[in-house]
Amino acid sequence: MTIESKSKDFSKQNRIKIHQPDVSKADRFNPRNRIYVRAVDGLWSSLRRRMGWVAMLFFLILPWIPWGDRQAVWFNLAEQKFHVFGLTIWPQDLTLLAALFMIAAFGLFFVTTYLGRVWCGYTCPQTVWTFIFIWFEEKLEGARNKRIKLDQMPWSFNKVWRKTAKHGAWILVSLLTAMTFVSYFVPTREVYIDVFTLNADGSIYFWVIFFTIATYGNAGWMREIMCIHMCPYARFQAAMFDKNTYIVGYDTKRGETRGPRSRKADPKALGLGDCIDCDLCVQVCPTGIDIRNGLQYECINCGACIDACDTTMERMGYDKGLINYTTENKLEGINEKVLRPKLVGYGVVLTVMVLVFIYASATIAPVRMDVIRDRNALYRENNRGEIENTFTIKILNKTEAKHQYKLSVDGLNNAKWIGPDSISLEGGEVLTLPISVAVDPVELKRTITNINIVVEATIDGKQVITTQETRFFGEM
């Protein structure tokens, strides 16, 4: 048989292999079918690992950073205050928190439209913790093939101690994760000291145990199930993708027809493409897909298959990039368009929202005041013949220091302030103060007069004036 006939026969077999599903991978979405992720080294894997460790360390260290007499980041639910370094967000300022979530959403839309699911592959907590757990798995149970053999072996001392060490490491990481997460809501030192001295509140133990179990289950057992079956992002990402979005793509024109061959063989003479069908791209994929089947919603753009394929191409003496970050247009030989209406739109909205958020954060009023009229009587005439209106004033000191406040009324000539006109509030204190405003009927030009209740204070060397408009009722 000639080389040409052999290559034609091999090509025919290879085409059959491509179009017929592989039975061993047909049910990869079954949660019972475990995916053994193979370790891989390369540019993108190294970048992902470094970003993962940085994200993990940032998460662990942030609650320990001091800021004055408290920790820098503290979501104090008991007192309804969110501290983020020098910024304190009160319930009255929760529109800022909503704006922050909207910025995060549009940021995700912008990045996804341009770079695909890089959030999933590099910075998503599920991915970061999963790869950390896989790292412990590799160190304690060995490489992919050894782990498969270990699971198939009967129970022995070697298997018991390796499994015990692995799950012990997972539980420790999960416990540390849970305690760190709780430390964002309860002072860090209290969490660690009280939990280990058995003096913590029951609710703290509940949440520590809850998040420990959740982390252990998600990163240790569920892994790709979270990405494939539970994460909504994979489902609606198609609405943001277009043919110019960067994805992990397989160059079919260059790679097909795929098939094994020796390093010295000429693939063109055999009628083969550059793909040697080693399946390494499948073995390193954390969601167990074959990127050669085209764009799939399960792909998290982690780039592991790119590194595996580049390593194979380098060994075979072929050009790298058979699998690469690319676009559908580029794969089809069409020029890419970086600037397109959808991407520009997301970018403009994101920029505007960030600027508005920065301005709103920088101009948060240090004093909050609400004025409530007495609903039982619009007005009354006092024993001096004056028209008197009663109000309830609520004043909140939104700073963390004690300040003196001066109260007055503006908008009425010769008005009299009946009640305390100077008060002192501790940091975070709320004062409810009933007061009355009285005026000679001669001064009233109309039945209803718009007036302003004014609060003045000197905070950090600056005079702060807060006003609240209300109405003063006279004789009907």
What residues does 161 pair with on adjacent strands?
none
Query: What single string gives the DSSP state of each residue in 305-320?
Result: HHHHHHHHHHHHTPPS
Handedness of CA 200, 205, 206, 210 (dihedral sign): positive
Alpha-carbon gap, residue 436 to 401, rounded angstroms:
28
Alpha-carbon gap, residue 323 to 258, rounded angstroms:
13
What residues does 469 pair with on adjacent strands?
452
What residues does 341 pair with on adjacent strands?
none
Percent of the chain with pLDDT over 90: 64
At 30, the pLDDT band (50, 70, 90 cuts) reads: low
Average pLDDT, the chain: 88
Nearest to 308 by CA among 37, 18, 15: 37
The β-bridge relationship of strands 87-89 and 462-473 is unpaired
User: How far is the first Cα of the chain from the last one, in angstroms, to the nearest whole number?
Assistant: 113
Spans of all domains in the chain:
25-94+119-232, 367-473
Over residues 320-376, the pLDDT tens digits come to 999 999 999 999 889 888 889 999 999 999 999 999 888 888 878 888 899 999 888
pLDDT at 123: 92
Over residues 206-220, the pLDDT tens digits come to 999 999 999 999 999
Q: Which class for 179: exposed (0-12), middle (13-18), buried (19 or more C-beta within 10 A)?
A: buried
Residues 6+ apart with CB under 8 A from 208: 175, 178, 179, 182, 191, 195
pLDDT at 462: 86
What residues does 84 pair with on adjacent strands?
73, 87
- Asked whether residue 1 carries a pLDDT value surpassing 70, the answer given is no
Helix, strand, coil: what percent of the chain each, to 5? 45, 20, 35
Q: Which two tokens stand for residue 329?
A: 């247009």
The DSSP 8-state label assigned to residue 401 in this structure reads S
Q: Which class for 296: exposed (0-12), middle (13-18), buried (19 or more C-beta within 10 A)?
A: middle
Predicted model pTM: 0.80
Contact 286, 127 (CB under 8 A): yes
- Asked whether residue 129 carries a pLDDT value surpassing 60, the answer given is yes
pLDDT at 44: 96
If one compares 237 and 314, the residue with the highest pLDDT of the two is 314
Torsion of CA 31, 18, 250, 226, to 10 degrees: -10
Alpha-carbon gap, residue 436 to 150, rounded angstroms:
81
pLDDT at 346: 93
At 2, the pLDDT band (50, 70, 90 cuts) reads: very low
CATH superfamily of 367-473: Immunoglobulins (2.60.40.10)
Contact 402, 366 (CB under 8 A): no
What are the distances in angstroms from CA 224 to CA 87, 120, 248? 37, 11, 18
Nearest to 449 by CA among 394, 397, 412: 412
SS3 257: coil
Where is average pLDDT lowest: 24-38, 287-301, 371-385?
24-38
Q: What's the rounded mean pLDDT across residues 117-121?
A: 91
pLDDT at 7: 38
Q: What's the rounded mean pLDDT across residues 20-29?
A: 43
Over residues 398-429, the pLDDT tens digits come to 888 889 999 999 988 889 999 999 999 988 88
pLDDT at 27: 53
At 34, the pLDDT band (50, 70, 90 cuts) reads: confident
What residues does 435 pair with on adjacent strands?
391
Contacts 24+ apart (CB under 8 A), 440-443: 440/385, 440/386, 440/387, 440/414, 441/385, 441/386, 441/387, 441/474, 441/475, 443/412, 443/413, 443/414, 443/415
Contact 135, 225 (CB under 8 A): no
**Is-cis flag, bond preceding 447, omega within 30?**
no
Alpha-carbon gap, residue 132 to 215, rounded angstroms:
12
pLDDT at 445: 86
What are the distances in angstroms from CA 53 to CA 39, 125, 378, 468? 17, 11, 64, 50
